Structure 1
Amino acid sequence: MPSFDVDGRQDTLVPKRMVDVKAARAAIIDDTEELCRLVLGPRDYLMSCSADELLSQQAITRFRLDHSFPVGGEALFGEIAAISGLSEINVRQIIRQAVVKDILQESCPDVVSHNSVSRLLAEDPVIHDWVSASREEFWPAAAQTCNAMARFPGSEVPSETVEKEEIALSDVKRFKFH
Protein backbone atom coordinates (compact mmCIF):
# COMPACT_ATOMS: atom_id res chain seq x y z
CA MET A 1 0.00 0.00 0.00
CA PRO A 2 1.48 3.40 -0.94
CA SER A 3 2.41 5.44 2.10
CA PHE A 4 4.76 8.15 3.31
CA ASP A 5 5.47 6.09 6.43
CA VAL A 6 9.20 6.05 7.23
CA ASP A 7 9.28 2.33 6.42
CA GLY A 8 7.17 2.72 3.29
CA ARG A 9 8.36 1.71 -0.16
CA GLN A 10 11.02 3.90 -1.72
CA ASP A 11 10.03 3.11 -5.30
CA THR A 12 6.88 2.71 -7.32
CA LEU A 13 4.77 -0.39 -6.82
CA VAL A 14 4.97 -1.08 -10.56
CA PRO A 15 7.82 -3.35 -11.69
CA LYS A 16 9.90 -1.84 -14.52
CA ARG A 17 9.27 -4.81 -16.80
CA MET A 18 5.48 -4.22 -16.77
CA VAL A 19 5.42 -1.67 -19.58
CA ASP A 20 1.62 -1.60 -19.94
CA VAL A 21 1.14 -1.05 -16.22
CA LYS A 22 3.83 1.66 -16.23
CA ALA A 23 2.02 3.40 -19.08
CA ALA A 24 -1.28 3.18 -17.18
CA ARG A 25 0.41 4.58 -14.07
CA ALA A 26 1.83 7.51 -16.08
CA ALA A 27 -1.63 8.17 -17.53
CA ILE A 28 -3.18 8.13 -14.04
CA ILE A 29 -0.56 10.61 -12.80
CA ASP A 30 -1.14 12.92 -15.79
CA ASP A 31 -4.93 12.67 -15.45
CA THR A 32 -4.79 13.28 -11.69
CA GLU A 33 -2.63 16.36 -12.18
CA GLU A 34 -5.05 17.62 -14.81
CA LEU A 35 -8.00 16.90 -12.50
CA CYS A 36 -6.29 18.90 -9.76
CA ARG A 37 -5.85 21.84 -12.14
CA LEU A 38 -9.49 21.58 -13.26
CA VAL A 39 -10.77 21.46 -9.68
CA LEU A 40 -8.62 24.47 -8.79
CA GLY A 41 -9.84 26.43 -11.80
CA PRO A 42 -7.70 28.85 -13.79
CA ARG A 43 -7.25 31.50 -11.07
CA ASP A 44 -6.45 29.15 -8.18
CA TYR A 45 -4.28 27.00 -10.44
CA LEU A 46 -2.12 29.96 -11.41
CA MET A 47 -1.98 31.10 -7.79
CA SER A 48 -1.05 27.60 -6.54
CA CYS A 49 2.28 27.43 -8.36
CA SER A 50 4.75 28.33 -5.65
CA ALA A 51 8.49 28.45 -5.33
CA ASP A 52 8.31 27.64 -1.63
CA GLU A 53 8.06 23.93 -2.38
CA LEU A 54 11.32 24.09 -4.30
CA LEU A 55 12.77 26.37 -1.64
CA SER A 56 12.17 23.84 1.14
CA GLN A 57 13.74 21.08 -0.97
CA GLN A 58 16.72 23.31 -1.72
CA ALA A 59 17.15 24.20 1.96
CA ILE A 60 16.78 20.58 3.09
CA THR A 61 19.51 19.40 0.72
CA ARG A 62 21.83 22.43 0.95
CA PHE A 63 21.86 22.51 4.75
CA ARG A 64 21.57 18.72 5.00
CA LEU A 65 18.54 18.91 7.28
CA ASP A 66 17.69 15.38 6.15
CA HIS A 67 21.02 14.24 7.63
CA SER A 68 20.71 16.22 10.88
CA PHE A 69 18.98 13.38 12.75
CA PRO A 70 18.86 9.62 12.20
CA VAL A 71 16.18 7.76 10.29
CA GLY A 72 13.95 6.22 12.94
CA GLY A 73 14.87 8.98 15.38
CA GLU A 74 13.37 12.35 16.23
CA ALA A 75 14.78 15.82 16.71
CA LEU A 76 13.62 19.17 18.02
CA PHE A 77 13.79 22.23 15.79
CA GLY A 78 16.51 23.67 18.02
CA GLU A 79 18.64 20.54 17.69
CA ILE A 80 18.36 20.62 13.91
CA ALA A 81 19.21 24.33 13.94
CA ALA A 82 22.33 23.73 16.03
CA ILE A 83 23.56 21.02 13.65
CA SER A 84 22.69 22.89 10.44
CA GLY A 85 23.92 26.32 11.48
CA LEU A 86 20.56 27.88 10.62
CA SER A 87 18.41 29.81 13.06
CA GLU A 88 15.66 27.87 14.81
CA ILE A 89 13.08 30.16 13.20
CA ASN A 90 14.39 29.32 9.71
CA VAL A 91 14.48 25.60 10.48
CA ARG A 92 10.91 25.70 11.80
CA GLN A 93 9.67 27.52 8.67
CA ILE A 94 11.50 25.23 6.25
CA ILE A 95 10.47 22.02 7.97
CA ARG A 96 6.86 23.00 8.49
CA GLN A 97 6.56 23.84 4.80
CA ALA A 98 8.17 20.49 3.98
CA VAL A 99 5.69 18.75 6.30
CA VAL A 100 2.80 20.27 4.33
CA LYS A 101 4.32 18.82 1.14
CA ASP A 102 4.90 15.35 2.71
CA ILE A 103 8.70 15.66 2.69
CA LEU A 104 9.17 15.38 6.48
CA GLN A 105 6.80 14.86 9.38
CA GLU A 106 6.22 16.61 12.66
CA SER A 107 5.32 13.64 14.85
CA CYS A 108 4.18 15.93 17.68
CA PRO A 109 4.54 19.69 18.17
CA ASP A 110 8.16 20.79 17.60
CA VAL A 111 9.38 17.19 17.10
CA VAL A 112 10.54 16.23 13.61
CA SER A 113 10.96 12.74 12.22
CA HIS A 114 11.58 11.21 8.83
CA ASN A 115 8.95 9.81 6.53
CA SER A 116 9.64 7.76 3.40
CA VAL A 117 10.47 10.85 1.33
CA SER A 118 13.04 12.33 3.70
CA ARG A 119 14.39 8.86 4.40
CA LEU A 120 15.11 8.50 0.69
CA LEU A 121 16.90 11.86 0.70
CA ALA A 122 18.90 10.86 3.79
CA GLU A 123 19.86 7.37 2.64
CA ASP A 124 20.20 7.56 -1.14
CA PRO A 125 23.07 9.87 -2.18
CA VAL A 126 22.06 9.75 -5.86
CA ILE A 127 18.55 11.01 -5.08
CA HIS A 128 19.91 13.57 -2.62
CA ASP A 129 22.40 14.87 -5.20
CA TRP A 130 19.79 14.93 -7.97
CA VAL A 131 17.37 16.97 -5.84
CA SER A 132 20.23 19.22 -4.77
CA ALA A 133 21.47 19.79 -8.33
CA SER A 134 18.00 20.39 -9.70
CA ARG A 135 17.24 22.97 -6.99
CA GLU A 136 20.69 24.58 -6.87
CA GLU A 137 21.42 24.69 -10.60
CA PHE A 138 18.44 23.86 -12.81
CA TRP A 139 15.85 25.91 -10.89
CA PRO A 140 17.94 29.14 -10.95
CA ALA A 141 18.78 28.53 -14.61
CA ALA A 142 15.10 28.11 -15.46
CA ALA A 143 14.37 31.39 -13.68
CA GLN A 144 16.87 33.14 -15.98
CA THR A 145 15.70 31.60 -19.27
CA CYS A 146 13.41 34.50 -20.20
CA ASN A 147 16.18 37.00 -19.40
CA ALA A 148 18.49 35.15 -21.80
CA MET A 149 15.77 35.03 -24.47
CA ALA A 150 15.24 38.80 -24.12
CA ARG A 151 18.96 39.55 -24.15
CA PHE A 152 19.70 37.26 -27.13
CA PRO A 153 16.45 37.18 -29.17
CA GLY A 154 16.33 34.38 -31.73
CA SER A 155 19.87 33.32 -30.96
CA GLU A 156 21.02 29.80 -31.62
CA VAL A 157 24.58 30.55 -30.53
CA PRO A 158 25.56 28.17 -27.71
CA SER A 159 27.38 30.86 -25.75
CA GLU A 160 24.30 33.13 -25.67
CA THR A 161 22.48 31.28 -22.94
CA VAL A 162 21.20 31.41 -19.42
CA GLU A 163 24.80 31.01 -18.27
CA LYS A 164 25.48 34.48 -19.63
CA GLU A 165 22.73 35.65 -17.28
CA GLU A 166 24.98 35.04 -14.28
CA ILE A 167 24.29 31.33 -13.80
CA ALA A 168 27.68 29.71 -13.25
CA LEU A 169 27.19 26.23 -14.65
CA SER A 170 30.28 24.74 -16.22
CA ASP A 171 30.02 22.16 -18.99
CA VAL A 172 32.22 19.85 -16.92
CA LYS A 173 29.87 20.02 -13.94
CA ARG A 174 26.79 19.47 -16.08
CA PHE A 175 28.19 16.54 -18.03
CA LYS A 176 29.58 14.85 -14.93
CA PHE A 177 26.09 14.83 -13.42
CA HIS A 178 24.35 13.40 -16.48
Structure 2
Amino acid sequence: MKLKFNVLGLVVIVMSLLVAGQAKADTVTTDATTNQPLSGYVFTADRDWRWYENGQLYTGFRNYFGANYYFINGVRQTNTWATEWGKTYYLGADGRSVEGHLVTINGITYDFGNDQTFYLRGKVSGYLKDGSAANGGYRWYDNGQLYTGFKFYMGTYYWFVDGVRQNAGWRSAWG
Protein backbone atom coordinates (compact mmCIF):
# COMPACT_ATOMS: atom_id res chain seq x y z
CA MET A 1 0.00 0.00 0.00
CA LYS A 2 2.87 2.35 0.78
CA LEU A 3 4.26 1.81 -2.75
CA LYS A 4 0.95 2.88 -4.32
CA PHE A 5 0.93 6.07 -2.24
CA ASN A 6 4.46 6.98 -3.40
CA VAL A 7 3.61 6.30 -7.04
CA LEU A 8 0.41 8.31 -6.70
CA GLY A 9 2.36 11.16 -5.08
CA LEU A 10 4.87 11.08 -7.94
CA VAL A 11 2.07 11.17 -10.51
CA VAL A 12 0.53 14.21 -8.76
CA ILE A 13 3.90 16.02 -8.79
CA VAL A 14 4.53 15.24 -12.48
CA MET A 15 1.00 16.34 -13.45
CA SER A 16 1.45 19.58 -11.50
CA LEU A 17 4.67 20.30 -13.35
CA LEU A 18 3.03 19.56 -16.72
CA VAL A 19 0.10 21.85 -15.96
CA ALA A 20 2.46 24.61 -14.79
CA GLY A 21 4.54 24.21 -17.96
CA GLN A 22 1.39 24.30 -20.10
CA ALA A 23 0.20 27.48 -18.41
CA LYS A 24 3.53 29.13 -19.19
CA ALA A 25 3.40 27.96 -22.83
CA ASP A 26 -0.12 29.39 -23.19
CA THR A 27 0.97 32.87 -22.04
CA VAL A 28 0.02 35.39 -24.69
CA THR A 29 2.31 38.34 -25.35
CA THR A 30 0.36 41.51 -26.04
CA ASP A 31 1.19 44.95 -27.36
CA ALA A 32 1.67 47.34 -24.42
CA THR A 33 -0.33 50.15 -26.03
CA THR A 34 -3.22 48.25 -27.67
CA ASN A 35 -3.33 45.19 -25.39
CA GLN A 36 -3.80 43.06 -28.55
CA PRO A 37 -1.84 39.78 -29.05
CA LEU A 38 1.37 40.34 -31.00
CA SER A 39 1.43 38.95 -34.55
CA GLY A 40 4.05 39.08 -37.28
CA TYR A 41 7.65 40.24 -37.18
CA VAL A 42 8.01 42.27 -33.98
CA PHE A 43 10.96 44.28 -32.63
CA THR A 44 10.99 43.33 -28.95
CA ALA A 45 11.92 45.28 -25.82
CA ASP A 46 15.13 43.17 -25.77
CA ARG A 47 16.08 44.94 -29.03
CA ASP A 48 15.68 41.80 -31.07
CA TRP A 49 13.31 40.65 -33.83
CA ARG A 50 10.86 37.79 -33.16
CA TRP A 51 7.95 36.27 -35.07
CA TYR A 52 4.68 36.03 -33.14
CA GLU A 53 1.38 34.40 -34.06
CA ASN A 54 -1.52 35.52 -31.86
CA GLY A 55 0.84 36.40 -29.03
CA GLN A 56 2.84 33.14 -29.19
CA LEU A 57 6.43 32.78 -30.38
CA TYR A 58 6.15 30.97 -33.73
CA THR A 59 8.00 27.91 -35.08
CA GLY A 60 7.83 27.20 -38.82
CA PHE A 61 8.01 28.93 -42.19
CA ARG A 62 6.52 32.34 -42.85
CA ASN A 63 6.51 34.43 -46.01
CA TYR A 64 7.64 37.98 -45.30
CA PHE A 65 7.98 40.61 -48.05
CA GLY A 66 8.16 37.94 -50.77
CA ALA A 67 10.74 35.69 -49.09
CA ASN A 68 10.33 32.52 -47.02
CA TYR A 69 11.93 32.50 -43.58
CA TYR A 70 12.03 29.78 -40.93
CA PHE A 71 11.59 30.52 -37.22
CA ILE A 72 12.18 28.42 -34.10
CA ASN A 73 10.54 29.83 -30.97
CA GLY A 74 10.22 33.12 -32.81
CA VAL A 75 13.92 33.32 -33.78
CA ARG A 76 14.77 33.61 -37.50
CA GLN A 77 17.16 30.83 -38.53
CA THR A 78 20.20 31.45 -40.76
CA ASN A 79 22.85 29.29 -42.46
CA THR A 80 21.07 26.06 -41.59
CA TRP A 81 18.90 23.27 -42.97
CA ALA A 82 15.19 23.00 -42.18
CA THR A 83 12.68 20.23 -42.89
CA GLU A 84 8.94 20.86 -43.28
CA TRP A 85 6.17 19.03 -45.14
CA GLY A 86 8.56 16.16 -45.92
CA LYS A 87 10.93 18.44 -47.88
CA THR A 88 14.37 19.86 -47.04
CA TYR A 89 15.25 23.56 -47.33
CA TYR A 90 18.37 25.64 -46.74
CA LEU A 91 18.24 29.07 -45.12
CA GLY A 92 21.00 31.46 -46.20
CA ALA A 93 22.91 34.10 -44.25
CA ASP A 94 19.96 36.50 -44.62
CA GLY A 95 17.51 33.85 -43.36
CA ARG A 96 15.79 33.42 -46.74
CA SER A 97 15.14 29.98 -48.23
CA VAL A 98 17.60 29.55 -51.09
CA GLU A 99 16.52 28.80 -54.64
CA GLY A 100 18.35 27.85 -57.83
CA HIS A 101 19.73 24.95 -59.82
CA LEU A 102 23.34 25.50 -58.71
CA VAL A 103 23.63 26.57 -55.07
CA THR A 104 26.95 25.81 -53.36
CA ILE A 105 26.85 25.25 -49.59
CA ASN A 106 30.05 24.28 -47.77
CA GLY A 107 31.72 23.15 -51.01
CA ILE A 108 28.82 20.97 -52.22
CA THR A 109 26.57 22.14 -55.09
CA TYR A 110 22.84 21.46 -54.81
CA ASP A 111 19.71 21.93 -56.91
CA PHE A 112 16.82 23.76 -55.20
CA GLY A 113 14.86 24.37 -58.42
CA ASN A 114 13.72 27.68 -59.89
CA ASP A 115 9.96 27.36 -59.42
CA GLN A 116 9.59 29.22 -56.10
CA THR A 117 9.14 26.01 -54.10
CA PHE A 118 12.66 26.28 -52.57
CA TYR A 119 13.03 22.62 -51.58
CA LEU A 120 16.14 20.48 -52.13
CA ARG A 121 16.11 18.31 -55.27
CA GLY A 122 19.55 16.82 -54.55
CA LYS A 123 23.25 17.18 -55.27
CA VAL A 124 23.97 18.11 -58.87
CA SER A 125 25.71 15.80 -61.36
CA GLY A 126 26.64 16.16 -65.03
CA TYR A 127 28.03 18.72 -67.45
CA LEU A 128 26.25 21.84 -66.27
CA LYS A 129 26.31 25.49 -67.29
CA ASP A 130 27.34 27.32 -64.13
CA GLY A 131 28.70 30.53 -65.65
CA SER A 132 32.37 29.71 -65.07
CA ALA A 133 34.94 31.49 -67.24
CA ALA A 134 36.20 28.30 -68.95
CA ASN A 135 34.65 26.37 -71.86
CA GLY A 136 31.58 28.50 -72.38
CA GLY A 137 30.58 28.38 -68.73
CA TYR A 138 30.23 24.60 -68.40
CA ARG A 139 31.78 22.37 -65.75
CA TRP A 140 31.38 18.71 -64.78
CA TYR A 141 29.84 17.98 -61.38
CA ASP A 142 29.73 14.57 -59.75
CA ASN A 143 27.51 14.18 -56.67
CA GLY A 144 27.67 17.91 -55.93
CA GLN A 145 31.43 18.33 -56.36
CA LEU A 146 33.56 19.52 -59.26
CA TYR A 147 35.02 16.46 -61.00
CA THR A 148 38.65 15.71 -61.88
CA GLY A 149 39.43 12.80 -64.21
CA PHE A 150 38.24 11.18 -67.42
CA LYS A 151 34.53 11.03 -68.25
CA PHE A 152 32.90 9.30 -71.20
CA TYR A 153 30.50 11.88 -72.60
CA MET A 154 28.69 12.14 -75.96
CA GLY A 155 30.61 9.23 -77.51
CA THR A 156 34.16 10.07 -76.42
CA TYR A 157 36.36 10.58 -73.37
CA TYR A 158 37.11 14.02 -71.93
CA TRP A 159 39.57 15.01 -69.20
CA PHE A 160 38.30 17.37 -66.48
CA VAL A 161 40.24 19.28 -63.82
CA ASP A 162 38.10 20.87 -61.10
CA GLY A 163 35.13 20.41 -63.42
CA VAL A 164 36.77 22.22 -66.37
CA ARG A 165 37.18 20.25 -69.61
CA GLN A 166 40.82 20.30 -70.72
CA ASN A 167 41.09 20.97 -74.43
CA ALA A 168 44.76 20.37 -75.24
CA GLY A 169 47.61 18.27 -73.90
CA TRP A 170 48.40 14.74 -72.90
CA ARG A 171 46.65 13.06 -69.97
CA SER A 172 47.38 9.80 -68.22
CA ALA A 173 44.96 7.60 -66.28
CA TRP A 174 44.48 3.92 -65.48
CA GLY A 175 48.22 3.26 -66.07
TM-score range, shorter chain: under 0.3
Return the index of the structure with the highest Cα Rg: 2
* TM-score, structure 2 as length reference: 0.19
Relative to its length, the structure with more strand (as a share) is 2
Relative to its length, the structure with more helix (as a share) is 1
* TM-score, structure 1 as length reference: 0.19
Bigger relative contact order, structure 1 or 2 (CA pairs below 8 A, ≥6 apart)? 1
